[in-house]
Amino acid sequence: MSHVDSLQGQSGRLASNDLRCDEYELKELLRGMELAPVSSQYQLATAGRSLHITSHLDRLKEYHDLGINIFPCQVYKKHPNYRYAGLKSGLPESFEDLKRLYEIYPGGNIAAALGPVSDLVVIDVDGKDALDVLIQHTGPRFTCPASKSGSPNPYKCHLFFRHPPGLQTRATMAPWHPQLEFRGDGGLIVLPPSTHPSGLLYRWLPGCSIFERNLSPLPTAIADAITNHLRPRPVAVSTSIGMAPSPGHPVHGLRKATRDFLNGNYRHEYGGRNNILFRAACDLAEHGVPQQVAIDRLMPGFGPRNVAERGEVISTVKSAYNHVSD
């Protein structure tokens, strides 16, 4: 029995037999939210923010009691307020620790650490095209908790599933569509009632909050796609920056951001470039590219200006490979 299940069993309100498990049609729910005037959504967000401030600790306690490892993010942002090691360490261990963090960083957004640490996998749907791809693979009806991103785009949503025992996951995986991410071990997701950069609130879909619905098992099609995506595969690497494949040895599945980095598209964007390098190196590691080959190919994409920056590239790539192998 998972930590979430055991905690649900301790409370009458959260007992599993009191939670909803009926099906709903995701696209219809989202379409209904699309029909709400934007002005009304902003009014809701304004009212919700006042409630968010006055009952912030109550909501944190509810999430904590479900066994979800949560931590503060910056106001209106998705970035943690303090340094952490891939969300695998540095998480608050008790509710008192969590309260102290939110006293240090008042008004911050609420984020959940994903993977086995919270027994959660989240499907991040980033638009209508991504939603259509998901429905093609899984069907239109779901029973899981679901939230609406604060984005004005009505088809951006998050679906919450139980993390399957023994399944290897990563922070982000997008085997079906670049805007359809499967988020797991080492990843994070922003929870309601956090505030989106647009000014709107993250909200649970009607009748679909994590306090109203059981966590559903991860659909088999998604679990199989994750397993296949993370399976090491041989990759032929040429001497070109873009790692053009040799005849008969195509390169499949690299993220667009990784391909852009390899092609030098981030060479002159110094802000946040190390984070992009780290994620690109993780991507190559997950595709079975040897570490030294990754260093050789990522180095031109980074465009180091001196010996110190070359050392930084090597150190970052090695850190990424260690992260993937953990």
* 123 has pLDDT over 90: yes
215 and 320 fall within a common domain? no
Quote the pLDDT of residue 56.
65
Q: Is residue 251 part of a domain?
A: no
162 and 14 fall within a common domain? yes
Q: Is residue 58 part of a domain?
A: yes
User: 270: buried, middle or exposed (CB in 10 Å: 19+, 13-18, 0-12)?
Assistant: exposed
190, 142 contact by CB (below 8 A): no
Q: Is residue 238 part of a domain?
A: no
The count of structural domains within the chain is: 2
**Which residues neighbour 311 within 8 Å (Cβ) at sequence distance 6 or greater?**
none
pLDDT in tens, 238-289: 434 344 433 333 446 788 888 888 887 776 665 567 788 888 898 888 888 8
133 and 175 fall within a common domain? yes
Q: Is residue 242 part of a domain?
A: no
Pick from 22, 206, 5: nearest CA to 120 = 5
Most confident of 126-130, 195-199, 246-250, 307-311: 126-130
Given 212, 227, 242, the domain boundary residue is 227
Q: Is residue 88 part of a domain?
A: yes
55 and 113 fall within a common domain? yes
Q: How far apart are CA 148 and CA 32, in angstroms?
A: 12
Instruction: Give residue 313's domain range.
Output: 256-325
Q: How far apart are CA 53 and CA 57, in angstroms?
A: 9
Stretch among 82-91, 129-138, 180-189 having the lowest mean pLDDT: 82-91
Quote the pLDDT of residue 1.
37
pLDDT in tens, 23-73: 888 888 887 665 444 444 434 433 343 334 445 677 778 888 888 888 777
176 and 260 fall within a common domain? no
275 and 220 fall within a common domain? no
Given 227, 242, 275, the domain boundary residue is 227
